[in-house]
Each structure stands twice: as structure tokens, then as C-alpha cells.
Structure 1
Amino acid sequence: MLDAGMDKLISLKEFTDASNGYLVNDDCVVGAEVFVCKEKRAAKAEFLSMSYYSFTYKHVWNVENFSKLDAKLDSEPFTVGNKKWKIVLHPKGESHGKGTHISLFLALAEPEILPPRSKTCAEFSLRIVYPMNSKTNHCQKGTTRKG
């Protein structure tokens, strides 16, 4: 799988309600925390050895003019470990959330450059940040795996 996330992160009604504070002056803040385990495999006869190198990164994305967005929007790519990632926002939803929810995903920015049989595993949290005070942010945690 090259991307993972939530097709029903938060309802459009809840998100656009000014009293909830997620959308301020038609802008919102989206955050991602990505933890990547890089697997190296070396097969020798019937033995398999693995070593793991961990990388953690937090990315903040300011989305402006939310009400004017129609189609999906990608964040600028950011690097975690040796791979480029991006946040993908569907302002009017995707799949089961189409027309009713905001959909938010984490994706590899350049999946076409992955070597054959490569494996990437990432644990992540995606958030719509509540900028007005310390109210709990809307958050989705997940795992994405390629290979």
C-alpha cells in the first residue's frame, strides 16, 4: 500500500462550524507525525538478517482558503529517513466520506522510484489542529506498508 489514512476523519459540518475552531479565517492547520522503520534484508542460504533504523518527523501544513478547494490537495513533500512523503487532503471527502467528511492520507511522494521488492513501514498520526486553545485535536493513527 502506498498511502493510508482516513476517508472519514471529521465531518464537514463539524469542521466548518466556527464554534469548533478548526477553520479560522478560512484557513486550517494539518499535522503529521511519521515514524519510519527501514528494513534491510540480506539473504544468505536459508538465513535472513534484518536491521532497523528508525526516523521520526513532525510536519505542519497550513492550508489556506479552504472553502475554495475543490479537488484533492497535496502538501509539499517532506523527507523522513530516505523517503519523501506528503499529506493528501480531500476537502470534500473520498470513498466512504465523499461529500460528508474531510479525508486525510499520508502517501509516498515518489512511489515510482522505490526499488523492486523494497519494503517501507511507517506508523503515523494525522491531525487537524485546533488552533484556538488546548481542545483535543482531531487525530487519526495508522500504519502504511509498501512491499
Structure 2
Amino acid sequence: MASGQVRRFHSIKAEWGCSKFISHKSLKEPCNGYLVDDNCILGAEVFVIKNQGVGECVSLLKDIECIKHEWNIFEFSKLGEQCSSKEFTVGDHKWKLLLYPAGHAREKGHSISIYLVSVDAGSFGRQKRVKAILSISVKDQISGAHHSSHWFSAAVAAWGWSAFMPLHEFKNPKKGYLVEDCCIVEADVLVVGDVNSLT
């Protein structure tokens, strides 16, 4: 009797088999020849084929806590093309905020651009990803706060908004976003899970 199947072995599933390989009745039936003089012979043919894909383990974190990071930016008018906050830690991962005071890419000259950057992502393996929920706002902003979730990986280490807020609105003295050449950016970051390779 033969049974052939293709199975994938990895660190979590290191063995495969058949719980109902052959019935006792069939095994003991003399005319089948499986059991002779109370002996039987078991054999296995194993062929290792090319790896067909990568297994992933998704972990949802328990007892997660949303961390609020406040970034005080002084002398806004003297900033260069881009600047970043100090690193902060959420969910055992390091993060920073990246600001383009005069806009990034197509929004240059039109809006301020803000991004959350995973500092650790550069050292992630090919399959490693971290899921974070983020909300970024300029302090005292009445409307227009942004809220989103994103998978951070080595390929995509930053996520945010190139058109976060129009420059004319941000610099309007009646709005109060930029006071005495200072603004305050707040980021609420919640890491909810990660993905790791099984291979």
C-alpha cells in the first residue's frame, strides 16, 4: 500500500503522517501479505523538492498601550528641507517623526508633509512586518487630524501624509498652529501586531 503527498516542513510543523494509514483488519489479513510471521516492513520514499513559498506567523500583541509622542519644533522658519524628531519606543520598536516643512514630492510648496518612520525596519528580514495604528496632529488643531493604520516593513519603513495641511492654513496667525515660530506635532502610536517568517 502506498500513499504519496507533498508536505511542507518547518519549525512549527516538523512532522507529518497518517493517523488512519491502514486498518487493523487489512493489515492482519494473510492474503494481503502485509503481516508475515508477525513481521511487517515499513518504507518511505522522500523527495525534497524546491521550496514553494514562505510560511508566516502573525502575532497580535496583548496588553498593548497607545503611546503619545509630543514633538516641539522651534525656529520653524529656519528648518531645512526636512527634519526628524528624536527616536521614541512603542511596542519594543523604535520610531521617529519626519517633517517636510515646505512639503514633500508633489506637495512641495503647497503643504507640510509628516510621516511616521520605523527606525528598526532597516534591520527587518524579508518577511518581517509590524502593524501600527497612528494618529498625527498639529496641537490645537480643531479639525483635519489624521488617523490610519499601516504595515511597516524593510520595503516600506515610513507612512504618513504628503498633503498633511496646506501651508497657507498652517502659517495663518489666526489659526494658532505656528506661534512665535514654534509648532507642536503630536503622534499617537499603537503597535498591534507583527509578522515573522517561519522559514
Task: Classify the TM-score, shorter chain.
Answer: 0.5 to 0.7
Q: Which moved more, 1:76-85 or 1:111-120?
A: 111-120
Unpaired runs of at least 5, structure 2: 1-10, 17-54, 154-199
Q: How much identity, in percent, do the aligned residues show? A: 28
* Corresponding residue of 1:93: 103
* Corresponding residue of 1:74: 84
* Alpha-carbon offset, residue 48 of structure 1: 7.1
Give the AA of the match of 1:141: H
* Distance in 1 separating the partners of 2:84 and 2:74: 13
Are the aligned partners of 1:128 and 1:138 in contact in 2 as well (CA < 8 Å)? Answer: no
TM norm structure 2: 0.45
* Alpha-carbon offset, residue 84 of structure 1: 0.3
Give the one of 145, 148, 163 matched to 1:142.
148
* Distance in 2 separating the partners of 1:73 and 1:48: 35
Are the aligned partners of 2:83 and 2:100 in contact in 1 as well (CA < 8 Å)? Answer: yes
* Corresponding residue of 1:44: 13
* Alpha-carbon offset, residue 120 of structure 1: 0.5
* Distance in 2 separating the partners of 1:61 and 1:44: 46
* Distance in 1 separating the partners of 2:129 and 2:82: 27
Aligned-residue CA RMSD (Å):
2.5
* Distance in 2 separating the partners of 1:103 and 1:144: 17
- CA deviations 1:65-92 (Å, max 9, x no partner) are 0011121110001000111001110000
* Alpha-carbon offset, residue 144 of structure 1: 2.1
Are the aligned partners of 1:85 and 1:109 in contact in 2 as well (CA < 8 Å)? Answer: yes
1:67 counterpart SS class: helix
Q: Kindly name which structure, 1 or 2, has the bigger radius of gyration based on alpha carbons.
A: 2
Unpaired runs of at least 5, structure 1: 1-41
1:44 counterpart SS class: coil
Give the AA of the match of 2:59: S
* Alpha-carbon offset, residue 141 of structure 1: 1.3
Are the aligned partners of 2:118 and 2:152 in contact in 1 as well (CA < 8 Å)? Answer: no
Give the AA of the match of 2:148: G
* Alpha-carbon offset, residue 49 of structure 1: 6.0
Give the AA of the match of 2:87: P
* Alpha-carbon offset, residue 95 of structure 1: 1.8
* Alpha-carbon offset, residue 146 of structure 1: 2.8
Are the aligned partners of 2:56 and 2:127 in contact in 1 as well (CA < 8 Å)? Answer: no
Give the one of 68, 71, 79 matched to 1:58.
68
* Corresponding residue of 1:124: 134
Q: Which moved more, 1:114-123 or 1:58-67?
A: 114-123
Q: How many residues align?
A: 102
